[in-house]
């Protein structure tokens, strides 16, 4: 049933005086309560509500029928005012307008001392419920009721309200969230109690128009991206919108391409984080272990679901995560963003896009690879090669690796090596001397020539570093650069330094290197420093019996060689 037909049915329901029960079911967050409330307001504006009173009750946390009965009573509001939010004033007004009924109820209470036994619960609550008749009642969140409230009892009360109190009752629930017993009970009583069952499944377009009604000038972009992913959960869309507005003021001055990239990532990451039951996990999305730039998985036998997620991500236009994406994903997880990092990455991306606006980007050259099945092997590689040479300084290490991989795979080894050389020639000294262990995707740099070139330049840039001095300071502190240098240093160098030092300096150096064994490992570098230091100590232990005894106190057994 289309949303327009559903709206028409709700208006018709509200306009009839007949006692009847309507049930609206649908997934979490799709706007079931919203569409009910909107049609209630529309019916009031058009003076098409047949009954004079209305109660809205959420079953969230309600644990007994008495609590439900009293909640219906205390939430009664007159439909004529158009204000459907109950408060102490509406309750007082209802009591004052029903003074005749209350005088009768008070006499009943005085004349029947054992009324509590007859009503089966708290006397004021039971008496209050006696005033409920000929009104509209909406009972929402049925799947979230208290554990002691049986769904069969709720439906029994609904039937009583319809048959004995001439009420119109609307039930709203997500029947997928009912446990097996409750679902069986619900369906068993459904035909006996419910007159009209509506399944509410709005399209993503309808959901975004509701969720982004007041979003501002980025609403259209967010809506387009949500529709592409098929997101119809209004609550999730609203949360994504809030994420975008936390970041937007920081990057609003950059070009449209930067904003588009940020929104594209935030919509995808927000969907993954807030709707875990239907979306791929955020870890899967930001992990590049299964996807290279040219779409090949390291595992040739991908699980069916992961293969489908990869197809979805590719159709969305998200090839793989980069360093900027990691910053955005961290913000989604935390609920707040490091705006300094976002500004830094945004500015770099803005400069890159501005520089490439005339000549076309490296990503555009890859589109020919991704977006057809033509037999154009040579043309595709030629175009990628040519674009790489123009844009090398703006390409990330992981995308260089993917490019080199496909050239080697397709038997262009010479050009693959030229790409590596071209890349380092284009970079400034800082980027060219990157330590891969500090790079967030270091495990994905698999090409041996590329890895060796990074390692060579890293150590070349740090050849003047005073390694013993760095080791002596480890006990009092360190920085990531120091750890990266020590983690890449050969065991032979550890051996030489251990052999060259004496006394307190030697104790301090060894203690500094081994202190990481008693810490929670926060990086591969920390584990590597301790492992290489121990290898050097094992080598020393193998030189003589006395040295074997000397290193025993560091956890290196005499028998180990």
What are the extents of the domains in the chain?
3-202, 203-288+321-358, 359-461, 467-552
Given a cut of 60, is residue 202 above it in pLDDT? yes
User: Do strands 168-173 and 196-199 pair parallel, antiparallel, or not at all (unpaired)?
Assistant: unpaired
3-state secondary structure of 24: strand
How much is the mean pLDDT over the chain? 83
Q: What is the mean pLDDT of residues 246-262?
A: 91
Residue with the bigger pLDDT between 525 and 372: it is 372
Residue with the bigger pLDDT between 434 and 340: it is 340
**In whole angstroms, what is the distance from residue 77 CA to residue 113 CA?**
31
pLDDT at 302: 66
DSSP one-letter string for 491-548: HHHHHHHHHH--HHHHHHHHHHHHGGGGS---SHHHHHHHHHHHHHHHHHHTT-HHHH
CATH architecture for residues 3-202: 3-Layer(aba) Sandwich (3.40)
Burial (0-12, 13-18, 19+ Cβ within 10 Å), 264: buried
450-489 pLDDT, tens per residue?
888 887 776 555 555 678 888 888 877 777 777 877 887 8
Question: Residue 233: phi, psi to the nearest 5?
Answer: -85, 110
* Predicted structure pTM score: 0.66
265-306 pLDDT, tens per residue?
999 999 999 998 889 899 989 886 555 555 555 555 667 777
**In whole angstroms, what is the distance from residue 394 CA to residue 396 CA?**
7
pLDDT at 435: 63
3-state secondary structure of 289: coil
* Contact between 229 and 268 (Cβ < 8 Å): yes
Given a cut of 70, is residue 31 above it in pLDDT? yes
pLDDT > 90: percent of the chain: 37
**In whole angstroms, what is the distance from residue 195 CA to residue 402 CA?**
60
Closest CA to 37 of 85, 78, 74: 85
379-401 pLDDT, tens per residue?
888 888 888 888 888 888 888 88
**In whole angstroms, what is the distance from residue 215 CA to residue 46 CA?**
28
131 pLDDT band, cuts 50/70/90, is confident
């Amino acid at each position: 049933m289309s949303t327009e037909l559903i709206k028409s049915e709700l208006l018709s329901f509200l306009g009839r005086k007949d006692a009847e029960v309507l049930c609206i079911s649908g997934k979490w967050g799709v706007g079931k309560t919203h569409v009910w409330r909107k049609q209630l307001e529309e019916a009031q504006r058009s003076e098409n509500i047949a009954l004079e009173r209305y109660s809205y009750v959420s079953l969230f946390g309600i644990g007994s029928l008495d609590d439900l009965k009293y909640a219906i009573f205390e939430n009664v509001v007159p439909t004529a005012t158009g204000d459907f939010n109950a408060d102490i004033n509406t309750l007082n007004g209802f009591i004052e307008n029903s003074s005749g009924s209350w005088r009768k109820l008070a006499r009943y209470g005085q004349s029947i001392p054992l009324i509590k036994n007859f009503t089966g619960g708290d006397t004021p609550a039971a008496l209050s419920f006696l005033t409920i008749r000929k009104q509209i009642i909406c009972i929402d969140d049925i799947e979230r009721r208290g554990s002691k409230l049986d769904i069969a009892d709720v439906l029994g009360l609904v039937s009583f309200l319809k048959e004995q109190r001439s009420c119109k009752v609307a039930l709203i629930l997500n029947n997928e969230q009912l446990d097996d017993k409750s679902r069986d009970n619900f369906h068993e009583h459904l035909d006996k109690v419910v007159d009209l069952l509506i399944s509410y499944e709005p399209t993503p377009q309808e959901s975004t128009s509701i969720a982004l009604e007041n979003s501002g000038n980025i609403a259209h972009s967010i809506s387009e991206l949500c529709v592409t992913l098929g997101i119809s959960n209004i609550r999730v869309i609203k949360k994504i919108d809030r994420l975008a507005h936390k970041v937007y003021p920081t990057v609003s001055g950059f070009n449209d391409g930067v904003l588009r990239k940020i929104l594209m990532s935030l919509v995808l990451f927000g969907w993954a984080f807030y709707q875990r039951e239907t979306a791929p996990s955020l870890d899967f999305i930001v992990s590049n272990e299964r996807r290279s730039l040219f779409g090949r998985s390291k595992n040739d036998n991908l699980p069916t679901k992961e293969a489908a997620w990869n197809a979805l991500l590719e159709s969305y236009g998200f090839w793989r995560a980069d360093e900027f994406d990691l910053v955005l994903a961290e913000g989604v997880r935390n609920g707040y963003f490091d705006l300094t990092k976002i500004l830094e990455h945004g500015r770099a991306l803005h400069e890159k896009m501005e520089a490439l606006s005339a000549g076309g980007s490296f990503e555009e050259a890859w589109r020919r690879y991704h977006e057809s099945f033509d037999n154009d092997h040579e043309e595709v590689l030629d175009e990628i090669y040519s674009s790489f040479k123009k844009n090398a300084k703006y390409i990330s290490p992981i995308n260089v690796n993917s490019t080199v991989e496909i050239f080697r795979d397709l038997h262009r080894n010479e050009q693959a090596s030229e790409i590596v050389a071209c890349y380092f020639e284009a970079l400034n000294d800082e980027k060219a001397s990157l330590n891969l262990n500090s790079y967030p995707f270091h495990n994905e740099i698999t090409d041996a020539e590329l890895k060796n070139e990074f390692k060579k330049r890293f150590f070349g840039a740090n050849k003047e570093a005073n390694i013993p001095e760095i080791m002596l300071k480890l006990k009092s502190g360190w920085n990531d650069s120091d750890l990266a240098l020590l983690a890449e240093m050969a065991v032979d160098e550890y051996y030489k330094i251990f052999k060259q030092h004496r006394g307190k300096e030697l104790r301090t150096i060894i203690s500094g290197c081994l202190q990481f064994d008693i810490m929670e490992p926060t990086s591969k570098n920390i584990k590597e420093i301790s492992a290489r230091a121990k290898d050097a100590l094992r080598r020393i232990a193998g030189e003589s019996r006395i040295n074997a005894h000397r290193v025993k106190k560091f956890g290196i057994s005499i028998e180990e060689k």
